[in-house]
Amino acid sequence: MIIQKAKMQDAQEIFYLTQDTIRAEYTDVYNQYEIDFFSALHSQEAIEEDIAKGIVYVLSKGNKILATATVEGNHLMRVFVEKSHIGQGFGSQIMDFIEHKIAQNYDEIVLDTSLVAKNFYLHRGYVFTHSETLEIENGRILEYEVMKKNLTEGK
C-alpha cells in the first residue's frame, strides 16, 4: 500500500470512486435530492481543484486507488473507500496517515460527517460537537453533524 498526494491524472478515478460509493452506500440513508447534492459536491471539477491545491491524498495498491481523503488545514473532507473494499481496513489506514499528518501542525481535527460514516468516526475517537443545516435543492434542508478529535492525547 502507498499513501501519497493525488496527481491530476488521478482525478477521474477519484471521481468515479467517490460517485460509486455515494450511490452504493447513501441510498439507504438519504433521499435522491440529498444524494444528488453529495454527487454535485464531490464533482470531478471540485476534486481537480483540490488536487491542484495539493490537499487530496490517495491510498493505492498497484495502480488502483482504494481510498481517498482531502485535508485543508485541520479540516478533513471527502473520505471515501472504493465500494468493493469497504470494511477491509483501507479507511482506517488512510485515516491513520491523515491524523498523523494533521497532528504535526494542529491539536485537533474537524470534519463534517455523513450519516453513513458517523459510526466509523465515533469508533476512531471523534466526538459530536454540533449539528448544522444546509439548504439544498427546492428549499430542502440537509442536516449534518460536525465532529472533532483531539490529537494531543498521548503526546
Question: Domain spans of the chain?
Answer: 2-150
The superfamily in CATH containing domain 2-150 is Gcn5-related N-acetyltransferase (GNAT) (3.40.630.30)
**Per-residue confidence (pLDDT) for residue 137, from 0 to 100:** 79
Residue 51 identity (one-letter amino acid): I
Please name the residues in contact with 15: beta carbons below 8 A apart, sequence gap of 6 or more.
Answer: 42, 43, 44, 47
**Per-residue confidence (pLDDT) for residue 65, from 0 to 100:** 97
- Has residue 109 got a pLDDT over 90? yes
Distances (CA, A) of 126 to 42, 72, 119, 144, 148: 23, 18, 9, 15, 5
Residue the block writes with cell 433521499: 31
Which pLDDT band holds residue 74 (cuts at 50, 70, 90)? very high
Model confidence over 50-69: pLDDT tens digits?
Answer: 999 999 999 999 999 999 99
pTM: 0.92
